[in-house]
Structures are given as C-alpha cells and as structure tokens.
Amino acid sequence: MDRDAALDRVADIVDLVDRAATDDARLPVPVREVWVYGDVALGLDPIDRLDVYVTKDLLMRGDADRAAEFEERYGVAGVGRTVDADWAEAHPDHLRANDNGHAAPERCLAAHLVNDDEPIHLEVCNASFSDNVTQRLKGAMAREAYGEILDPRGVCLYADGRRDDEAMAKLRGGELAFPTLSEALEMLGLDEGAAAEAADALRERRAETTGRTVRGDVV
C-alpha cells in the first residue's frame, strides 16, 4: 500500500470521526481517539498493511425501544443499546453482529470506515492506546500468545474532539523516530529473547493477513 494513500485513508477516517463529534455525521458508537501504529508510523513506504486504533465510548444516548424493530428487520439484536439506532437506520448495509447475533460495535465501525478489500486492520477498544498496549502485553505474555501483542509504536491523530494536524504533518514528512519492534518491546519490560520472539510472531501474523480485519477489546 502506497504510504501517501495510506495516510490519505487515515485522514478520511479522522475527518469522519471529527464530523460525527459535531453531529454532521453518525457512527455506530462515539469515537474518542484515533491512532495509527506500526509500519505507517515508522515512515515505511510502501507498507503491507495500515494499522488503525480507535478508542470508543459507550453509547450514552441509546434508543433501546427500537431493538425489537431492528432484530425483526435485520436479524441483529441489541441495536439502540450497543450501536446507534439512527446510524443503523441510515446504514443498514454496515450493520454487523457478533457470533451470538448481537450488534458488534467493532464490526460495525470496521464496515463503516473500511472497505472489505482494503489492507487495513482496525483495533477497537474502550481504553486508550497506551493503556491497551500494556494490558495486551501482559495477557499475551501470560498465555505465550505473542501474536496478540499490540505494536506500541503509535501516533495519536485525534483525541477528545481535537485533531492533531501537526502529528499528521510529521507523519507525512517522515519526521517521527521509533525504535525497532523488538527494542520497543524491551522498553516495556520484555527480555531480549522474548522481545525478539514476539516481534517475529507479530511479523508472521501480519504476513498471513489480507483485506480488512478488525479486533474488539474491552479493558
């Protein structure tokens, strides 16, 4: 994926999140932060995949009374509770359910923000990027599931209603310096051997992945 094209796509996502915050557009759930991490943050060109992290908020102005209506029409439960009913009304083609048939905010966000065939991975969590990096690292190390680690080399482009145009400009200019992945993991407390093994596992997982992917976390 061409780096400029990748950053243009990130800018599109930030624009949509920003407009949704002012009620000019709707998202399935409110988004508080948008980050990019991994290859695009490092300045690589081209990149294999674009990694985007969004921090979601709970749906505070839900419309649970409409849940039965949407379940009958689309076979998806929980609309109005976990995802915005007005959004679902406007974008039924982006409505997605989890394996239990309930509306899945992370899958709905991915369907709304990313096309099926785009080499983009979307991480969706209720916690900020930095907090989730720590939590994911602890869990992955406890299970020796290194492929679940979240690459800690990230750049925040939107937070709490404000976009960071300076950070985007630095990304476009390749002005940000980051350590290697294994070095970054060592900074988080892994020993040299574990950090190298974890970095290899992450690279292997990325190499095997194609198209749009999404992961939802609750911390």
Per-residue pLDDT of the chain in tens (219 residues, 90 and over written 9): 999 999 999 999 999 999 998 877 899 999 999 999 999 999 999 999 999 999 999 887 667 788 999 999 999 999 999 999 999 999 999 999 999 999 999 999 999 999 999 999 999 999 999 999 999 999 999 998 998 999 999 999 999 899 999 999 999 999 999 999 999 999 999 999 999 999 999 999 888 888 999 999 887
Dist. CA 46–CA 114, nearest whole Å: 19
pLDDT of residue 104: 96
**Beta pairing, strands 50-56 & 120-125:** parallel
- Residues 194-198: contacts with CB under 8 Å, at least 24 apart: 194/141, 197/146, 198/140, 198/146, 198/149
Tokens standing for 108? Answer: 């709905």
Handedness of CA 126, 215, 106, 16 (dihedral sign): positive
Q: Based on C-alpha coordinates, what's the Rg of the chain?
A: 18
Q: Per DSSP, which regions of 110-171 are E strands?
A: 120-125, 154-159, 162-163
pLDDT of residue 62: 65
> CB of 97 within 8 A of CB of 111?
no
- Smallest CA-to-CA distance from 115 within 5, 3, 4 is with 5
Report which residue type is found at 20: A
pLDDT of residue 60: 75
pTM for the complete prediction? 0.94
Dist. CA 163–CA 147, nearest whole Å: 30
